[in-house]
Amino acid sequence: MQNITTNVSRRTFLAGAGSAAVVAVLGLAGCGATGGSTAGSAGSAAESGEDLLTQIQDRGEMTFATEGTWSPWTFHDADGNLTGYDIEVARAIAAELGVEASFAEGEWDGLLAGLDSGRYDTMANGVSVTEQREEQYDFTEPYAYNRIVVITLNDSDITSLDDLEGKRTANTLGSSYATLAESYGATNTGVDDFNQTIELLQQGRIDATLNDEVVFYDYLRAHPDAPLKIAAENDEPTHVAFPLRKGGETETLREAMNEAITTLRENGTLSSLSNEFFGLDISEA
């Protein structure tokens, strides 16, 4: 069922991508929350039940929650500046809405909780659209399409997702990767970030981990001698979109964000940013 052959053309593109996204793999970013006053403003808007788009435009900024430690989606460059595909798309969308983008950094486990409580307007963190999440959130149109892959050591005998039965994996708790691994019978260990996962894998404490194909190749650019491979990949690409709290107060914001995503796709911004950070265009299915 799973395609276990690594896509050579994608490998070639990714290997040739620019070095802008590499630094974050080294874990330079801190996870402490930033932009606290902005998050408070977002919370006030949510509690009021008023139209969120109007509130955002009135305060002149939109608060995006993000990890800041997951290259090339969201990370800090060599100068400590927050950047990445998610970050720059978020900034472009905010500009289309006529406001500034601000970012509140934290660990994955707390990002969705902060969105639920109204501390943040949305998340810019490569959030995959899943049936379970759609029950709780309204999503924008996708701005990226990505493949989830199984990452193992070179000598692993895992060749498909079915082979995860009874195996040990590690991923952030509540992530789509952990959920997928567990659905195939793996026992998942919670971790803070991708770097920690790779450490566990190379130490032999887990058998595999799941993550984005583009994240794996980004890691290999920085660590070309790492004894890692893609053992299998999910058949269908995942849709990556911005989650919003369900309710009438976010309806106009979602519509405005969808219009902005359409504009950025049509004018080539999404494609350009994707090629900048991934080395290929993942903005189209």
Provide, rounded to the nearest whole percent, the portion of the chain with pLDDT above 90.
73
pLDDT at 176: 87
Q: What's the CATH code of the domain at 185? A: 3.40.190.10
- Considering the domain architecture, whether residues 139 and 151 belong to the same structural domain is answered as no
Residue 216 is assigned to a structural domain of this protein: yes
Same domain flag for 137 and 74: yes
State the pTM of this model.
0.75
Full domain range(s) for residue 25: 19-144+239-278
Give the model's pLDDT for residue 274: 97
**Residues lower than pLDDT 70 in the chain:** 1-49
40 and 100 part of one domain? yes
Q: What is the pLDDT of residue 48?
A: 57
Residues 49 and 139 in one domain: yes
Residue 68 covered by a domain: yes
pLDDT of residue 129: 95
- What whole-number distance in Å separates Cα of residue 99 and Cα of residue 91? 9
CA distance 101 to 93: 8
Residue by residue, DSSP assigns 92-150 as: HHHHHTTSEEEEEE--HHHHHHHHHHTS-SEE-S-PBP-HHHHHHEEE---SEEE-EEE
Query: pLDDT per residue over 182-197, tens digit each?
Result: 999 999 999 988 889 9
What token pair was written down for 273? 């940013």
The domain total for the chain is 2
